[in-house]
Amino acid sequence: MTHPVPTGFVHRFEPGTAETAPPLLLLHGTGGDENDLIPLGRALSPGSPLLSLRGPVLENGMPRFFRRLSEGVFDEADVRRRAGELAEFIARARAAYGLAAPVAVGFSNGANIAAATLLLHPEVLAGAVLLRAMVPLAESPEADLVGRPVLLLSGALDPIVPAENAERLAGMLERAGAAVTHTVQPAGHGLSQADLAAAGAWLGRKSGLRASAA
């Protein structure tokens, strides 16, 4: 049966080659596009179906997934709106491509929209790898994340995400019931080989997510 290609986000889709590898939803950082994280997705979980999006918001010509008022200060009304649009897109993409609920892999701004989507629409994601994420909403929504695994990788030398903020996000997700692994890497805001190794190993242990989240 054929399905209409989902609309709403410019995206790339690569079918999977490994039955047990979980689908990955790839969400870039500020200034990236739908091509940026494809190599990362391939490296982290070989054989996974990859659904990689381009953020629909432009900031000085750079794609993002939601508006911000200044560095580290988010337009929370827009965060909520864009998380809702992302949740609707995921549902359409799953039907079009025959996917189980995906594991979000987001970097920076992409990690922030993934965290917001987990909290606002927990049913659409099987889990998340949040790379350099920060708290997306000042007040935590009431969410049921019981059984949702989340890997949060922060940088000890990150000039953008304060350590307290990352810890607060981990606590917010844990209080919602998520099984959170929070690791602070000896790195800045950019990704390191240690991040890639940790994320790849974590995803490798989550190979059953594809079947359990169908």
| 183, 195 Cβ separation under 8 angstroms | no
State in Å, rounded, how far the first CA of the chain is from the last one: 18
Entry pTM: 0.94
Q: Which of 45, 52, 154, 158 is catalytic?
A: 158
Active-site residue 158, yes or no?
A: yes
Instruction: Output the pLDDT for position 71.
Output: 81
Is residue 3 assigned to a domain?
Answer: no
pLDDT tens across 57-109, in order? 999 999 999 999 988 789 999 999 999 999 999 999 999 999 999 999 999 99
Q: Which of 108, 121, 154, 195 is catalytic?
A: 108
Q: Which of 78, 189, 192, 207 is catalytic?
A: 189
Is residue 42 assigned to a domain?
Answer: yes
Is residue 44 assigned to a domain?
Answer: yes
Q: Is residue 213 pLDDT above 80, yes or no?
A: no
The C-alpha atoms of residue 77 and residue 90 are separated, in whole angstroms, by 20
Is residue 197 assigned to a domain?
Answer: yes
Is residue 173 assigned to a domain?
Answer: yes
| 52, 41 Cβ separation under 8 angstroms | yes
Active-site residue 3, yes or no?
A: no
Work out the angle at residue 100's Cα, subtended by the Cα atoms of residues 98 and 101, and round it to the nearest 5 degrees. 130
The C-alpha atoms of residue 30 and residue 164 are separated, in whole angstroms, by 22
* CATH number of the CATH domain containing 47: 3.40.50.1820
Is residue 5 assigned to a domain?
Answer: no
The C-alpha atoms of residue 121 and residue 182 are separated, in whole angstroms, by 21
pLDDT tens across 166-188, in order? 999 999 999 999 999 999 999 99
Domain count within the chain: 1
Residue 2 pLDDT level (bands cut at 50, 70, 90):
very low
Q: Beta strand 68-70 with 127-131: parallel, antiparallel or unpaired?
A: unpaired
| 93, 6 Cβ separation under 8 angstroms | yes
Full residue range of the structural domain in which residue 101 is found = 11-212
The C-alpha atoms of residue 213 and residue 181 are separated, in whole angstroms, by 20
Residue of 166 and 207 predicted with greater confidence: 166
Is residue 80 assigned to a domain?
Answer: yes
